[in-house]
Amino acid sequence: MLIRPSLRKTYEFPVAAFVVLSAIATQLALNSGQAREERLPKSDLIERHSQIAEQARPYIFIFAMLMVGVVIFDYLDRRSTQAADAAASSARADEGSASADRPN
């Protein structure tokens, strides 16, 4: 999206929604895994898997917050640009009609 800004409007909301859902799913998987880990016999492999998941969680949530921030920023930017364009068009239209009313 940052490489091709033309794709931003099309894909930014679905990507942000996917990342937020991924963050929620990660948290649910961690909770489920911790409950399951308590029922299983101790294993270094299970312990390592659990540590990797816990280390990945903050990065996933940070990425989700960044994507939501990008969507909000881009939406507000587009909205202000559209308002400025509408104001400029209105000013040009008013100027055009005022000059048409003046006698030559």
- Which residues neighbour 29 within 8 Å (Cβ) at sequence distance 6 or greater? 53
Residue-wise pLDDT tens digits, 53-86: 899 999 999 999 999 998 899 889 888 888 887 7
Dihedral angle over CA of 34, 40, 41, 46, nearest 10: -50
> When comparing pLDDT for 96 and 100, which is higher?
96
Query: pLDDT by residue (tens digit) across 11-25?
Result: 888 999 999 999 999
Report if pTM > 0.75: no
Instruction: Give the pLDDT score at 63.
Output: 93
